[in-house]
Amino acid sequence: MMARYTVDQLHQRLQSHRIVQGPLAGVSSVPFRELVWRYSQPAWVCSEMISCRTIISGSPSIKQRYLQISAQEGPLCMQIATDNPEDCAKACAVLNALDIAMIDLNVGCPVKKIRQRQQGSYLLSQPDRLYTIVRALRAHSLHPISVKIRVDGSTNDRFNEDVLDAINRAGPDFLTVHGRNYQEGYDTTCHHDQIAFFAQRAHMPVIGNGDVHDQSSVEAMLALGCAGAMIARASVGAPRLIGNIQARMGLICAADSVSMPETWAMFCAHINGLSQLLGREDLALAQAQGLIKYYAKRNQYPSSIVNAVRSTQTIAALSDLVSLL
């Protein structure tokens, strides 16, 4: 059974563990999170984003998918999206009954459909609305709360000052800053100076995010004044990455090295877990097509195994592909 966490406890975890596993829609469900916890000790791990409307009135199967929590997990930060304080309050009533460590508000999602619903990064241009939503979260959540934003970047947006002001007044317990504008996607260079702007002026601990993948990129975030660094994509296919970096930084004892066949066993466990979560082998195999690219990149698999996964019909047959490594 997971314990509930106070703000102080999460703050201490961030001080001692430094790295947070970030949210990835389509990836950060239970099977991925369990693998991260088996091989690493992040300060906490974020869920996929779930809209408050789904939390309030989604079908039982969709709620089971997004709200499932495993007993093998450490502190879980459940990420929500909304465009209004009323839905936020109603969603809190549901989330308050769950054994999660924190609720995070998504204020960075660049996806058109989400922005059209006036959620995600759209809220950066509406600091007053952002303020009322974070206040609702503060008033109704029994869990600590955080907000995850993007920055002006190199665009003509000029919201950094106003967003900082709204967030400082609303007072979440943590702030995560992804150093790109929503129009800058995921691959342009991060604006470290703008992460520093928030890290040095926010009234709460800031977690720096964007392209963190090794010891020096974690240390670069800490040098900006961040209390921690968030790794999102780099852990997919490499659930031991956070543990390895923490070991190099002397934060935890050295993590055991993992052999190539063991990384394949991780991949198979990941897909098996998805099959159980989704209740359908074909859906899990469809997700395997996307995930194998991450595993291949992180673990230097030959391209033959990527092609073989594409034509595999059953999850049971996946384990035999270990011979191709």
CA nearest neighbour of 195 among 205, 187, 144: 205
| H or E element in which residue 35 lies | helix 30-39
Q: Which helix (H) or strand (E) holds 56?
A: helix 52-57
Which among 70, 67, 77, 69 is positioned nearest to 43, based on CA atoms? 77
Positions touching ligand FMN (CB under 6 A) are: 22-26, 48-49, 79, 106, 108-109, 148, 178, 186, 209-212, 231-234
- Of 308, 272, 324, give the one whose Cα is nearest residue 31: 272
Enzyme catalytic residues: 109
Residue number with CB closer to ligand FMN (110 or 321):
110
Shortest approach of ligand FMN to residue 323 CB, angstroms? 30
The minimum distance between CB 55 and ligand FMN, in angstroms, equals 14
- Pick 184 or 321: Cβ nearer ligand FMN: 184
Q: Is 240 helix (H, G, I), strand (E, B) or coil?
A: coil
Q: Report the residue number, 175 or 321, with the smaller CB distance to ligand FMN.
A: 175
Quick one: 170 or 231, whose CB is closer to ligand FMN?
231
Residue 156 CB, nearest approach to ligand FMN (Å):
22
Q: How far is CA 280 from CA 130, 164, 276, 285, 287, in A?
A: 38, 44, 7, 9, 11
Closest distance between ligand FMN and the C-beta of residue 178, in Å? 4
**Considering the complex, what minimum distance in angstroms separates the CB of residue 185 from ligand FMN?**
9
- In the bound complex, what is the minimum distance in angstroms from residue 247's beta carbon to ligand FMN? 19
Residue 26 three-state SS: coil
Q: How far is CA 129 from CA 102, 135, 310, in A?
A: 21, 10, 45
For ligand FMN, the closer of residues 230 and 255 by Cβ is: 230
Residue with the two structure tokens 């195994």? 305
Given a contact cutoff of 8 angstroms between Cβ atoms, the answer to whether 209 and 230 are in contact is yes
Residue with smaller CB distance to ligand FMN, 114 or 170: 114
Distances (CA, A) of 314 to 29, 206, 275, 319: 21, 44, 11, 10
Burial 118-157 (b: 16+ CB within 10 A, else e): ebbbbbbbbbebbbbbbbbbeebbebbbbbbbbbbbeeeb
